[in-house]
Amino acid sequence: MARIVLIGAGSITFAKNLLSDLLTYPELADETTVVLHDIDVERLNTAERMTRWMIDKLGVGAKVEAHLGRRRALAGADYVINEIAVGGVKAAHIDFEIPARYGLRQTIGDTLGIGGIFRALRTIPVMVGIGRDMTELCPDAILINYTNPMSMIPRAVYEGTGLKKVVGVCHSVRDTEATLARLVGIPKEEISFRTAGVNHQAFVLRFEHRGENLYRRLDEVIEADPEMRRRVRVEVYRRFGYFPTESSEHGSEYLPWFLPHQDQVDHFRLPIGTYLDWLQDNLDTYEALVAGLRAGNGVEIAPGNELASLIIHSIETGTPRVLHGNVVNDGLIGNLPSDAFVEVPCLVDKAGVQPTTIGALPAQLAALNRNYLNVGDLTLRAALEGRRDHVYHAAMLDPNASATLTLQQIQDLVDELIVAHGASLPDGIRN
């Protein structure tokens, strides 16, 4: 029987999607214990009520536990799925509102940039604590991480705790490959893809159908549609030669050429601060779900091949699948740092998550990735070593911040954010 722990189970929509898969797999539905953990008692209670309703509705034999105490939840786990947001909505508003006063634009702010740096600084201490608990209480469990920044969080656990079964998952590669298939009008399952890099800045290296290079067809689609040329990811593709995996809104934050320039913001239709709108939508969704549960209406059970569910199913049943995971590089991509976490295709079966060796990326893509990874590496050092100076260094090297602000403005902004986030930051940084 698999013991599956959801850390941050109060992320209700995510929990619902995950459980819609796990509880409808015939091989798992009667042999699983779902363990819910959240530090918010109201959200934890909601997650438990929803899970029990789903089990009753499906008539399966899965068991449920709910624990405010993290260690009790982790004890004996086989799989730990992480979806935490340290600081919640309040912290996200700080990450947007203070930089905005300095003239720094962000769209989503959870992966790179000032928002990504401070999200990582808040999250890494908690994740290191989870990793240390796991090495003691469930050392053979695999940690499946969804929380951004994806290039930093799994690596922090890997380096900071000794836990080695760590993989990060994200929908961006799968969604991008589906989008490209739709654009060229060929079923995705007939296309040969090879996609790799770092999370939110991976690139489609091979895009072929029966030996035909489909990039030629994509070029024709782009040429015929002026509106497509108003997307950042299309502009990056046209300039660098390979299609990136992140959306235009999000991808604009990792580069120096878009958000600092009003004409580019207008041309590429970049929605400044859109993440705050998403958060409000999530709150509205949560309230509607709570009302539905109270009224006895339950929730929609809609299996959707959530990535963590697929990993667990493949390991438990031996069903082989190839999924993209974020894992320690260790030579998988030859021209990126060996200690970085990279996003590559992984075979998943009874043996676990087995990453594919890619070789060297095209030089221009590796250069972009190294710029991206430099900020993450310094942020990681700042968090693990308690070094405030590395927070400055990370922010100074961030492409968007460095293209927008002076060095002194960046330091002043960092100082103000450190004060605003206070005790949620690692020791050493706030002193």
350 inside domain: no
Query: Tokens standing for 206?
Result: 């091979």
400 inside domain: no
Full-model pTM: 0.95
Query: Tokens standing for 301?
Result: 């059970």
Annotated binding-site residue? 313 = no
Residues 6+ apart with CB under 8 A from 141: 5, 74, 77, 78, 79, 80, 134, 165
Nearest Cα residue to 143 out of 164, 121, 173, 159? 164
**Residues belonging to the chain:** 431
Hey, is 7 helix, strand or coil?
A: strand
Annotated binding-site residue? 346 = no
Which pLDDT belongs to residue 386? 95
344 inside domain: no
Q: Which residues pair with 333 in a beta bridge?
A: 359
Which pLDDT belongs to residue 239? 97
Which pLDDT belongs to residue 294? 86
Q: Domain limits at 21?
A: 2-87+111-168
63 inside domain: yes
Candidates 171, 250, 261, 267; catalytic one:
171
What CATH number has the domain bearing residue 121?
A: 3.40.50.720
Asked about 171 being catalytic, the answer comes back as yes
Nearest Cα residue to 391 out of 8, 31, 108, 119? 119
363 inside domain: no
Annotated binding-site residue? 250 = no
Count up the domains in the chain and report the number.
1
Nearest Cα residue to 54 out of 68, 64, 67, 43? 64
Which pLDDT belongs to residue 170? 96
Burial of 261 (0-12, 13-18, 19+ CB in 10 A): middle
17 inside domain: yes
Which pLDDT belongs to residue 384? 96
Which pLDDT belongs to residue 259? 97
Which pLDDT belongs to residue 108? 95
pLDDT in tens, 3-62: 999 999 999 889 999 999 999 999 999 989 999 999 999 999 999 999 999 999 999 999
With a cut of 50, list the residues of the chain below it in pLDDT: none
324 inside domain: no
Long-range CB pairs of 279-286, under 8 A, 24+ apart, other chains included? 279/89, 279/92, 282/13, 283/89, 285/12, 285/13, 286/12, 286/13, 286/43, 286/46
157 inside domain: yes
Give me the helices (H) in 113-230, please. Answer: 113-137, 153-161, 172-184, 215-224
pLDDT in tens, 266-310: 999 999 999 999 999 988 888 988 888 888 888 989 999 999 999
